[in-house]
Amino acid sequence: MGSLKNNLIVAMPHMQDPFFAKAVVLICEHTEEGAMGLVINRPFEEPNLKGLFSEIYKENENILQVVSTIYFGGPVMIERGIVLHSSDYSSKETVPVSDSFSLTSHKEILKEIRKKRGPLHYKLMLGHAGWEKGQLEREIQNGDWLLLDTNSDFVFNTDDTMIWTQATHQFDIGTAQVSGRGGQA
């Protein structure tokens, strides 16, 4: 299997893991050593969000007045903020994912967003998803994930509540038709 970088993985209906049930994950890095991705359709609920965010980014509390939604990017390093954004913005701390997507985890991007000098499109994430060597490939072979090409319009402009449903419809199958167990032939 080649690199899955810049692709989406879509959780199959049988996935019961509370972090990944009905998750859609943008794969940001995929090498022989493992993979890293961001869940793009899991906004934090408001009551927990303000306390967590203001504890982590004390000097940027008022960013909540600018950024309407903060996302659960995955269970790894939940205390770390990452901005997934369009490639129209770049700083020395920006890591390109593809021609469409970049990542910036330096706090300076929050100031740029507040001043309206940041990226045109972005999602502020706390945490990320990670897989060790061979783990993601095994999960895909087991039938836990579907692979899907992506574009920035889908990632940044699709309603969060519809991302998983629209992604599964790309496969021209109804989720009710999919077996409740993975890895069965």
Say if 185 falls within a structural domain.
Answer: no
The answer to whether residue 2 sits within a structural domain is no
Range of the domain at 119: 7-177
Q: What per-residue confidence (pLDDT) applies to 181?
A: 44
* Dihedral over alpha carbons 123, 128, 134, 136 (to 10 degrees): -50
Establish if 1 belongs to a structural domain.
no
Q: Rounded to the nearest 5°, which phi and psi values hold at 31?
A: -130, -175
Q: Kindly report the pTM of this predicted structure.
A: 0.87
Residue 173 lies in a domain: yes
**pLDDT by 10-residue block (mean), the chain, 185 residues:** 92 92 97 97 74 60 70 92 94 95 90 89 95 96 94 95 92 50 41
| Residue 142 within any structural domain of the chain | yes
Provide the pLDDT for residue 72: 93
Inside any domain, residue 183: no
Assign residue 163 the CATH number of its domain. 3.40.1740.10
* Tally of domains in the chain: 1
Find out whether 72 and 125 touch, Cβ atoms under 8 Å. Answer: yes
End-to-end CA distance of the chain: 20
Q: How many Å apart are CA 34 and CA 36, to the nearest integer?
A: 7
